[in-house]
């Protein structure tokens, strides 16, 4: 969830995706109990992962020194993720601290709630860096990794999961292997390993995916394979639309664009911290419609608060930089 300094496209797109993520977490209903939540969960995280992969240029990344890589990701996301993970476990799962082994298992192998994203993304980064040289030189290596990623998605995100031993499913979050394909697809499109397709491809995929996903929700005849197929079609279509969306969002949107860009720029912190607020909205007694309205209001409030906090912190940082530069200017004079 890193940010680009000059191009507003990725930040605005991340801001839009964060709206969906936060709003989805305000529902007290399960994914299968709300049509709106069902549709949101049909594509939003694959698109986020695709965008993360799409930001990686393998020409530079594939040969980056390991020490530099680890320091970069520690400062960018791992340190914040570790702090928030500990706070979340203290508040939500205190049993995780029964032993060092239990803590490490919950922290790294079976992350709680939303905390899976950062370790999953970092694991993807490690795989890509480890294979960076062969991926850059060999189409066969790229094809092999693609086949492995698709196999992981099939085994861990479809009914084929039944073939995976229970000890594996109980020990490691299935998304580590099952969602890598979305990061790799983003990397492949960015680096020309997979063609960037036009609207003639992704628009029909999105349309078919939306209809299929809705049909799965409303039909008693739909089975698990139908659900997996609808999810895949919708997610592929939405992911392949990311490059065009990024280009379209290079111009800041009116009214909301600045806010979306701020949220996107600080999306890691918004993502990590927002469940401390949304988790308090387990209020089924208010009814689904009022709950949705409350969720929308809370989503807006979180986004506004994020912008305010970011503005305050950036103002403090700017004042400190000015204060630090003044002695140097006096010496130069």
Let me know if residue 226 belongs to a domain.
yes
Let me know if residue 275 belongs to a domain.
no
320 has a pLDDT exceeding 80: no
pLDDT 10s digits, 82-134:
999 999 999 889 999 999 999 999 999 999 889 999 999 999 999 999 998 89
148 has a pLDDT exceeding 70: yes
pLDDT at position 287, please?
67
Q: Which residue has the tokens 């997979």?
A: 194
Give the three-class secondary structure for 330.
Answer: helix
- The rounded mean pLDDT for the chain is 87
- Taking the C-alpha atoms of residue 254 and residue 274, their distance in angstroms, rounded to an integer, is 25
Let me know if residue 66 belongs to a domain.
yes
Comparing 1-10, 117-126, 193-202, 299-308, the range with the smallest average pLDDT is 1-10
Q: Between 165 and 263, name the one with better pLDDT.
A: 165
pLDDT at position 228, please?
95
pLDDT at position 332, please?
54
Confidence band of 153 (pLDDT split at 50, 70, 90)? very high
Mean pLDDT over 148-160 rounds to 95
Task: Write out the two tokens for 269.
Answer: 């912190």
Q: Between 285 and 61, name the one with better pLDDT.
A: 61
pLDDT 10s digits, 298-313:
888 888 888 888 788 7
Let me know if residue 125 belongs to a domain.
yes
Confidence band of 59 (pLDDT split at 50, 70, 90)? confident
Let me know if residue 202 belongs to a domain.
yes
Mean pLDDT over 63-70 rounds to 90
pLDDT at position 227, please?
94
| Cα-based distances in Å from 262 to 79, 129, 196, 252 | 21, 29, 28, 11
263 has a pLDDT exceeding 90: no
Let me know if residue 270 belongs to a domain.
no
Mean pLDDT over 182-200 rounds to 95
Confidence band of 162 (pLDDT split at 50, 70, 90)? very high
pLDDT 10s digits, 24-38:
888 777 787 888 889
324 has a pLDDT exceeding 70: no
pLDDT at position 305, please?
84
> Domain range spanning residue 198?
20-252
Mean pLDDT over 198-213 rounds to 95
Instruction: Find out whether 178 and 156 touch, Cβ atoms under 8 Å.
Output: yes
Number of C-beta neighbours around residue 26 at 10 A: 25
243 has a pLDDT exceeding 90: yes
Overall domain count for the chain? 1
Task: Write out the two tokens for 19.
Answer: 């709206």
Dihedral angle of Cα 198, 207, 55, 317, to the nearest 10 degrees:
130
230 has a pLDDT exceeding 50: yes
Q: Cα 140 from chain centroid?
A: 28
- Taking the C-alpha atoms of residue 283 and residue 286, their distance in angstroms, rounded to an integer, is 6
Confidence band of 2 (pLDDT split at 50, 70, 90)? very low
Let me know if residue 260 belongs to a domain.
no
60 has a pLDDT exceeding 70: yes
Confidence band of 285 (pLDDT split at 50, 70, 90)? low
Let me know if residue 279 belongs to a domain.
no
Taking alpha carbons only, the member of 259, 257, 296, 275 closest to residue 37 is 296
């Amino acid at each position: 969830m890193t940010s680009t300094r000059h191009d507003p496209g990725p930040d605005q797109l991340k801001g839009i995706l964060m709206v969906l993520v936060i709003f989805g977490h305000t529902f007290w209903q399960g994914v299968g109990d709300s049509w709106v939540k069902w549709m949101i969960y049909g594509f939003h995280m694959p698109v986020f992962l695709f965008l993360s992969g799409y930001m990686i240029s393998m020409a530079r990344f594939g040969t980056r020194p390991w020490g530099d890589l680890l320091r970069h990701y520690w400062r960018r996301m791992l340190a914040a993720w570790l702090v928030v993970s500990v706070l979340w476990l203290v508040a939500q799962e205190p049993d995780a601290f029964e032993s060092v082994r239990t803590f490490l298992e919950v922290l790294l192998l079976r992350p709680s709630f939303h905390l899976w994203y950062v370790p999953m993304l970092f694991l993807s980064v490690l795989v890509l860096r480890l294979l960076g040289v062969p991926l850059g030189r060999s189409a066969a290596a790229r094809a092999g990794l693609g086949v492995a990623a698709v196999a992981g998605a099939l085994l861990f995100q479809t009914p084929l999961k039944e073939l995976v031993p229970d000890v594996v499913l109980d020990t490691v979050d299935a998304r580590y292997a099952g969602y890598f394909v979305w990061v790799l697809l983003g990397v492949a499109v960015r680096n020309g390993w997979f063609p960037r397709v036009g609207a003639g491809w992704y628009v029909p995929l999105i349309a078919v995916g939306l209809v299929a996903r809705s049909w799965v929700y409303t039909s008693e005849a739909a089975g698990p394979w139908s659900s997996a197929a609808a999810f895949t079609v919708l997610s592929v279509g939405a992911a392949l639309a990311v490059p065009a969306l990024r280009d379209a969002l290079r111009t800041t949107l009116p009214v909301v664009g600045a806010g979306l860009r701020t949220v996107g720029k600080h999306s890691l912190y918004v993502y990590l911290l927002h469940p401390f607020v949304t988790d308090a909205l387990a209020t089924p007694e208010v009814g689904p419609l009022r709950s949705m309205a409350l969720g929308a209001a809370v989503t807006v409030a979180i986004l506004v608060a994020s912008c305010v906090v970011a503005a305050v912190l950036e103002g403090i940082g700017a004042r400190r930089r000015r204060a630090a530069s003044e002695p140097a200017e006096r010496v130069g004079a």
